[in-house]
Structure 1
Amino acid sequence: MDIIFAPAPSSNQRAEAEDLSVEFELTPLGREAFVFFVNETNPIQSLTHEQLRSIYTGQVTDWAEVGSESGTIQAFQRPEGSGSQTALQQFIGEAELMDPPAEDRVAGMGGIITETADYRNHPQAIGYSFRFFATEMNDTDGIRLLAIDGVEPTRENIANDTYPLSSEFYAITRVGEDDENVATLVEWMIGPEGQTIVERTGYVANE
């Protein structure tokens, strides 16, 4: 693979690349935001960093503990190694994540495997993703993006970096790969026309 467009690689991905003697070159293309969301019927509008960490480490288990109506929190996660799960782990830091909701699925040859359950928009659910996938790639009917520390994940707040979980996304290539077509594409993406495409696809362009 010559180029991918993605958030910064995780520490595990960098370690795997290093084992293969591969070094990444990251070219910023725009800004993205890591967002948390709930069912739209949940009256909660905003959570703090600490409240979210407490939910995803299992210290807070009822919505009443964070100012909403009482109900057992269903804190969904994403599969290990996914970009969203990597972002959550970085957000949590050194604390240990709670076990995610899981479900059994039929595997090859009729076997059963247990996997991290996909998000289900139950009234007590909370999930997370990157804003682009939460708003552009999926049906957003029935969910509400939460403000973090009182700051909503709007395009303006992402662009000016006031939303606390905003970050850059990149064109990721290999150092030392001299592919003229790849270099031309990257240059085009950071130019005016490429940045217009970034905006049109739902991301926030570089300023």
Structure 2
Amino acid sequence: MAHPRLRSLIRSRRSLIARCSIALRVLAILLLSVVLTPDASGQRATVPSAPSQADLRLHGSNTIGETLAPALVEAWLARDGYRDQTRREPVFEERVISGRSGTAVRTVEVKAHGSGTAFASLLAGQADIGMSSRPVQTQEVLAGAEVIGRLDEPGQEVVLALDGLAIIVHPSNPLRGLATSQVRAVFSGRLRDWAELGGRPGRIALHARDDRSGTWDSFRSMVLGTASLSPAARRYESTVELAAAVAADPMAIGFVGLVGVNDRVRALAVSDGGAAVAPSEREVSVEDYPLSRRLFLYLKPGEKNP
């Protein structure tokens, strides 16, 4: 059965998430320990998987995998005494983090190619933990049910953090906020000039995440609805690349998780039938920001801390 401390953290996850990053580290460290804790025979319990040099493999969300997951992995390694650490990126959006404690070495791979790849990797036996910025979809549950078990079973899905979809523009853009209906009109191509929104005249340049991204799935569900993304939008695998493109173009607009907001872009306040709310940590943590969402970790069924 699941470790009692893990069960307690899951029950109180909302209060933990609303606190500082230390709480996130505690939750993630316990989740990572689920995979590496030996079973009764002294061996790490695993589902048969493809060969890998890593002791632990996290695949999926770019929002989680670019910054948060590597930081959590490094904290977990340090907690277990692996303080001599290295981090390298042999392939774009793939990080290998190693820690040494005496002669012992522990290695973790973090592949951040989008939430959709989390479930494909779990199904293929190529990942131990799936990272997703959206809930697992019904077809993904059914696809894996007979191979690895149901990913929607209790204990397999854990909320890691609360996040928000930030609508970002260049800092020189005079607009301070938009309604979700206006964001939908912009990204569907119905509004094409900033002057139509009360801004300076100029053609709007659209930047969006790619189809494998959970951030894209969230945006499509929460903002676009039945509307389609304009074919004029440039698509990105990486949050960092998208934010950099918006930072370089005064006519640009894009959407990212909160991790993508930096001092080179500005996040707009968003309204959805009420007052416009900025995507601050506080407003997201209490889910008052209209585009708040949850970030998830998924464990393969059967892998629990004994």
RMSD: 2.0
Decide whether the 8 Å contact of 1:6 with 1:169 is kept in 2.
Answer: yes
Shift of 1:4: 2.9
> In the alignment, is residue 98 of structure 1 matched against residue 230 of structure 2?
yes
> In the alignment, is residue 42 of structure 1 matched against residue 167 of structure 2?
no
Aligned to 1:52: 183
1:22-101 counterparts in 2 under 5 A?
22-24=149-151, 25-91=156-222, 92-101=224-233
- Pair member with larger Rg: 2
Aligned length, in residue pairs: 160
The amino acid that maps onto 1:4 is: G
Indicate how the Cα distance of structure 1 residues 96 and 10 shifts in structure 2: closer, same or farther if over 3 A, else same.
farther
Aligned to 1:143: 265
Partner Cα distance (1:8, 1:71) in 2: 34
Shift of 1:17: 4.3
Partner Cα distance (2:131, 2:284) in 1: 18
Q: Deviations over 1:129-168 (max 9, x none)?
A: 1002x13xxxx23210111011001111112211111122
- Ranges in structure 1 where 5+ consecutive residues have no aligned partner: 103-115, 184-207
Deviation larger for 122-131 or 161-170: 161-170
Partner Cα distance (1:30, 1:9) in 2: 13
Aligned to 2:288: 162
Partner Cα distance (1:124, 1:10) in 2: 35
Partner Cα distance (1:31, 1:165) in 2: 11
Partner Cα distance (1:129, 1:10) in 2: 20
- Matched residue of 1:52: which SS? helix
Aligned to 2:298: 172
Aligned to 1:15: 139
> In the alignment, is residue 128 of structure 1 matched against residue 255 of structure 2?
yes
TM-score relative to the length of structure 1: 0.70
Indicate how the Cα distance of structure 1 residues 87 and 124 shifts in structure 2: closer, same or farther if over 3 A, else same.
same
The amino acid that maps onto 2:201 is: S
The amino acid that maps onto 2:254 is: G
Identity within the alignment, %: 24
Which gives a bigger RCO, structure 1 or 2 (Cα 8 Å, sep 6+)?
Answer: 1
The amino acid that maps onto 2:188 is: T
The amino acid that maps onto 1:151 is: V
